[in-house]
Amino acid sequence: MKTDLRMGKILILMMAFLLLISFSASAESKKELKIATWEDINTMDPGWLSSVERELTIMNCLYNGLVKYKEGSWEVVPDLAESWEMSEDGKEITFHLRKGVMFQGDFGEMTAEDVKFSFERIIDPEAKSPEKGSWEQLDHVDVIDDYTVKVVLKDRMAQLFTSTLPLNAGMIVSKKAVEKIGQKKFGFHPIGTGPYQLAEWAPKKHVKLTVFKDYWGEKPKIEQLTFMPIVEDSTCEIALKTGEVDIGRASLINLKAFEKNPKLNVYSKPGLKYWWLGFTVNKPPFDNLKLRQAVRYAVDVDKILMGAFFGVAERANTMLPPGMLGYWEDAPVYKVDLEKAKQLLKEGGKPDGFKTNLFVWTDDKAKIAAEVIKADLAQIGIEVDIEVKEVGAFNEASNKGQTDMHIQFFTTTIDPGYATSWFTTGNSWNPSQWSNETYDALLKKGTAESDLEKRAQIYIDAQKEVDKDCWAIWLTHGVKVRVAQKSVDLNKLYPNGRMAPWAMSFK
């Protein structure tokens, strides 16, 4: 009997100990938020961002700008700048900076010198920043004193407060850190003033951020953010179901099943991006406009939306989405017309068709869309070789014009100047290698136009140039799906589904 009692006490103690371990593990897990991303980063330097989709949220955790989008909206509010004044001609904006804002890594206080350095390094022609177009109208930055800085423009810059300053091109880096570390290495040793600082980057495995103890603003409630690159949707879905990740994505075909899962919350937002089938227009075969037009009449966009997007995403007929300034409401809708496609092939000197390639990256939607396109073009005698590449290799090949055709998506902002800017002559993110003087002139005019009605028409006219030259077949503006564990409070997602992890917490 005594033995039984003794054994009973031991069992109770063991159970209590196991429960204590369980609670400790649970408490420990609550300190870390695991977020699945669809690919690894290339950089954490805001002046050299290579993907809005993969890198911007991480950069938003590491850096601040003079202004920012208020969490959950596109309202622009003060951030590192407490206030500002603009000259009557709109070419000079004087910012008054917060005092006592510290950089991570013991790099001291943020001052006007850091603002000047952050912006002017982007327009330095020797630096070759891909964000140079975001600051195209920047002439220089004057330091008035440690906490006052004047941005001097060549001309009015309509998108200054809607897409340049609130995004990565407006983020402030430490001048001392960049000069000490070097620009190339800085991308993986970032120093900003944001709520989180880099703890570890393990390529293809994770990016770990920890709370910056000297952050000037409201401290985040979650101590560590871990961003985990998970390429395949199916793998991400398993990770969500098993609890391996706290926030991730689900394929559109499985969306309804995830909505019924009692352990998960699903959030759907309209996409602020544009998907398209693009042509490289400066080399055969698609330097021939007739052949590009033939493909446009052969490809069934509606079929692509059903196959790759499962009917969830709506069709796009032009670059800018509904609701954005400059949306082309009357853009032509091209329906399948195989006879017309064959006639265009004949006019283009290829009556019997030809062989070509189509590059995509390792994305399920892109791969499905490619198969639909291949089948459609086979009907008019065009034989398509699909080449699937990792995103880095894909971007390099398409941006260098090494493809014949490519399926792309670009994530944009609320300003049409940003969305359209990548396709000007010589832009490093112009995968079609397209050059159109009228388009270039329209974009320059749109940047300086302050009258909204006139500015809207400028961007409609610019989209007409794209349509005329047929370097893109528009597919969709997409839909953004976030899936999160019930234990996670996402707080406020931006209107396009972009996250603000610094404002999140565990329930």
For residue range 396-408, what is the model confidence (pLDDT) as tens digits?
999 999 999 999 9
Q: Are the CB atoms for 507 and 263 separated by under 8 Å? A: no
Nearest in space to 391 (alpha carbons), one of 406, 404, 401: 406
The four Cα atoms 248, 252, 254, 258 give a dihedral, to 10 degrees, of 50
Question: Is residue 38 very low, low, confident or very high in pLDDT (cuts 50, 70, 90)?
Answer: confident
pLDDT at 29: 52
User: Distance (Å, rounded) from C-alpha 476 to C-alpha 427?
Assistant: 23
User: Distance (Å, rounded) from C-alpha 150 to C-alpha 97?
Assistant: 11
For residue range 176-232, what is the model confidence (pLDDT) as tens digits?
999 999 999 999 999 999 999 999 999 999 999 999 999 999 999 999 999 999 988
pLDDT at 452: 86
Domain limits, the chain: 41-194, 273-477
Total-model pTM: 0.76
Alpha helices in 105-254 (DSSP H): 112-123, 175-181, 183-186, 233-242
CATH of range 41-194; options 3.40.1280.10, 3.40.140.10, 3.90.1150.10, 3.90.76.10: 3.90.76.10
Tell whether the model's pLDDT for residue 63 goes beyond 90.
yes
Tell whether the model's pLDDT for residue 362 goes beyond 70.
yes
Distances (CA, A) of 296 to 29, 111, 116, 277, 493: 51, 53, 46, 9, 36
For residue range 239-273, what is the model confidence (pLDDT) as tens digits?
999 999 999 999 888 988 999 999 999 998 888 89
Tell whether the model's pLDDT for residue 24 goes beyond 80.
no
Q: How confident is the model over 346-358, as a mean pLDDT? A: 98
Tell whether the model's pLDDT for residue 28 goes beyond 70.
no
Six-digit token string for 450: 């302050």
Q: Collapsing DSSP states into helix, strand and coil, what is residue 80?
A: coil
pLDDT at 21: 38
CATH of range 273-477; options 3.10.105.10, 3.40.50.2300, 3.30.465.10, 1.10.357.10: 3.10.105.10
pLDDT at 14: 43
